[in-house]
Chain A
């Protein structure tokens, strides 16, 4: 009886403490729930989707957003061969140096280099984006309430016009899901924004899905290893605990 009461209280407390999180996103409507392949106990990433998402990032997002924790070597993890990753790296120039003359110089990127940022620093980024700072995207899925659902909602939540009665500030765009519903970023995706080679439909929704999946991977590259290890470890601990319980009961049995 008391145990049940206590359990109830604890569950209630968890629900209450957890509940506050939902309100933190501001006055925007609740983000619709999406199905993601990386969710759940058995979640894994779809390599094809990640590669399409990388393409969207590369051709659209990377013009303004950095991806500072991803190195070209990491692209191997989403299904590119080492040669392909090297070829992608070689398309970019990174600063290196100083050379023997003491000068900094640019050279083609190698696998060990990190994704080059589009702007030299935050001030340049702001200056080029009307005062708004495009955030780094490596961790964006982990750094926003709602995670992947939120980013997908944001990508697909633009409207041409603000609803009646709402005054958009200069240079701002209407988005249902951005806190305050005014966002400096122009709707980044449109039909056929990126040309897929694998025959996947090139809709805004598909682009948004793919790039969101890609960003879920950049935020949690350990996800697959974590979930697969976790399953084995939990089964092991469960069995061990069950055995210990039986021993415990048997050791104690002779006391009574």
Chain B
């Protein structure tokens, strides 16, 4: 392992003025990580990598793209046909957005399963939710830039949501558009913001990691780190594991990029935006489908928008809705079920969102939307109140030695769980 104080004279000179070597060492080399993190803990670093990949490919695309209503579509085709490797950059960026969301959603559900949002990690969790919101805004505005049919009509439908705001809605929409419909001024401001937001996102990621490294990682057992025996240095153990995870993720992303670059997109977006004709089926990208279903489930314009916003906003107060002291679902027999039902509910919402709201989809959409909120507002508080968690292991170290730490459910039932999560309980 590298020594914290560099031996090299030049490095020492730098270190004295800017402690970059000891800082890197502290956070990327010696950082004490719980020794029992499973593969679900790979997704944070994968998300970080995706952000960098999106920024790099995005900057290259921006060099060739023309943010003008008359030229945007043509400039995208110019990238696809004439710019060296332009097709690769665009397909990486477009499919990269999907991969980014997939990775972040898994990261988020991992947090839900293992109770990573609980004390003392509430601010860490909030930063995560803000990151999700920024991602959604960036992805939406990025999708508008090619100025195809779906770009245009997605922009129209989404911006029109603000018109649901009482009294000032119409004014707000006109302000958003910079005109009386989605048009050139809208495109240019979306371009400016699409370029800006990822860097804001980067800043929030930094705070996210700051909070993480301050209170250290959660782990599959959900119990606190109690002694150095519970941890292993980040490098080489998790660096090599993250590299392996990165390889797997890139393999999947590249299969999409090279062999099915358009399956996740809508064909109609290869037709230029036409303000006079709406496509027969307006569908958002897959990562927005559950929210789209919630929007449509409420038969009221304002209500639908409020529900959709609330579906994400509710994550902010999740740490207080779920007041159970035990973090990991491994020791929460009822919550474990509630979690999987919630996952199924979210997938069902996505399925509803992908389909035209007719026939059975209407009530399925309403039931799944209702359950989405009930999960947070009714199910979680009740479980927290009535559930009897199974005994927690004494320490990470002991659990690992008995063979229950890394992989599957059942932890070795360590003796009567000491008030293992006293720290977690304090804050509630």
B351-369 contacts to A, CB under 8 A, are 351, 354-355
In the complex, the answer to whether B347 meets A142 with C-beta atoms within 8 Å is no
A135–B423 CA distance with the chains assembled, in angstroms: 66
**Other-chain contact of A9, B240, B270, B289, B347 (Cβ < 8 Å):** B347
In the complex, the answer to whether A227 meets B258 with C-beta atoms within 8 Å is yes
* Contact indicator per residue, chain A 64-95, by CB within 8 Å of chain B (1) or not (0): 00000100001000000000000000000000
In the complex, the answer to whether B350 meets A13 with C-beta atoms within 8 Å is yes
In the complex, the answer to whether B254 meets A69 with C-beta atoms within 8 Å is no
Which residues does chain B contribute within 8 Å of A143, judged by CB atoms?
A: 267-268, 270-271
Which residues does chain A contribute within 8 Å of B35, judged by CB atoms?
A: 255
Which residues does chain A contribute within 8 Å of B409, judged by CB atoms?
A: 2
B386 interfacial contact with A, CB 8 Å = no
9-residue interface stretch from A158-166, A194-202, A232-240: A232-240
Which residues does chain B contribute within 8 Å of A28, judged by CB atoms?
A: none
In the complex, the answer to whether B259 meets A227 with C-beta atoms within 8 Å is yes
B117 interfacial contact with A, CB 8 Å = no
Which residues does chain B contribute within 8 Å of A222, judged by CB atoms?
A: 80-81, 87
Which residues does chain A contribute within 8 Å of B209, judged by CB atoms?
A: none
The count of chain B contact residues (Cβ–Cβ below 8 Å) is 46
Query: Do A237 and B262 contact each other (CB < 8 Å), given the known contacts A145-B267, A255-B237?
Result: no
Which residues does chain A contribute within 8 Å of B261, judged by CB atoms?
A: 226
A222–B258 CA distance with the chains assembled, in angstroms: 10
9-residue interface stretch from B4-12, B183-191, B279-287, B320-328: B279-287
In the complex, the answer to whether B258 meets A17 with C-beta atoms within 8 Å is no
Beta-carbon nearest neighbor of B271 in chain A: A143
A247 interfacial contact with B, CB 8 Å = yes
In the complex, the answer to whether B254 meets A244 with C-beta atoms within 8 Å is no
Query: Do A234 and B271 contact each other (CB < 8 Å), given the known contacts A222-B80, A226-B87?
Result: no
Query: Do A241 and B248 contact each other (CB < 8 Å), given the known contacts A9-B343, A227-B259, A230-B258?
Result: yes
A47 interfacial contact with B, CB 8 Å = no
In the complex, the answer to whether B240 meets A251 with C-beta atoms within 8 Å is yes
Which residues does chain A contribute within 8 Å of B237, judged by CB atoms?
A: 251-252, 255
B247 interfacial contact with A, CB 8 Å = yes
Interface residues on A, range: 35 or more
In the complex, the answer to whether A234 meets B251 with C-beta atoms within 8 Å is yes
A248 interfacial contact with B, CB 8 Å = yes
* Contact indicator per residue, chain A 129-172, by CB within 8 Å of chain B (1) or not (0): 00000010011001111010000000000000000000000000
Which residues does chain A contribute within 8 Å of B354, judged by CB atoms?
A: 16-17, 19-20
In the complex, the answer to whether B262 meets A142 with C-beta atoms within 8 Å is yes
In the complex, the answer to whether A226 meets B88 with C-beta atoms within 8 Å is yes
B168 interfacial contact with A, CB 8 Å = no
Which of A138, A233, A244 is most buried by chain B, counting CB atoms within 10 A of its CB? A244
Which residues does chain A contribute within 8 Å of B228, judged by CB atoms?
A: none
B377-428 contacts to A, CB under 8 A, are 408-409
**Smallest CB separation, A227 vs chain B (Å):** 7
A230–B256 CA distance with the chains assembled, in angstroms: 10
A17–B35 CA distance with the chains assembled, in angstroms: 38
Query: Do A229 and B247 contact each other (CB < 8 Å), given the known contacts A13-B350, A69-B81, A251-B240?
Result: no
In the complex, the answer to whether B259 meets A230 with C-beta atoms within 8 Å is yes
In the complex, the answer to whether B343 meets A69 with C-beta atoms within 8 Å is no
Q: A139-B271, A142-B262 are in contact. List 8 more A-B contacts (CB 8 A).
A: A13-B350, A143-B268, A147-B267, A221-B81, A226-B258, A230-B258, A237-B254, A241-B251
Residues of A that sit less than 8 Å from B by CB: 1-2, 5, 9, 12-13, 16-20, 24, 26, 41, 69, 74, 135, 138-139, 142-145, 147, 179, 219, 221-222, 225-227, 229-231, 233-234, 237-238, 240-241, 244-245, 247-248, 251-252, 255
Residues of B that sit less than 8 Å from A by CB: 35, 74, 77, 80-81, 87-88, 91, 232, 236-237, 240-241, 243-244, 247-248, 250-251, 254-255, 257-259, 261-263, 267-268, 270-271, 280-281, 283, 286, 289, 340, 343-344, 347, 350-351, 354-355, 408-409
9 pairs from A and B in contact (CB 8 Å cutoff)? A17-B289, A18-B263, A135-B271, A144-B267, A222-B81, A230-B254, A230-B258, A234-B251, A241-B248
Lowest 10 CB-CB distances: which A-B pairs, in order? A230-B258, A241-B247, A143-B270, A222-B87, A244-B244, A20-B354, A142-B270, A16-B351, A139-B270, A248-B244
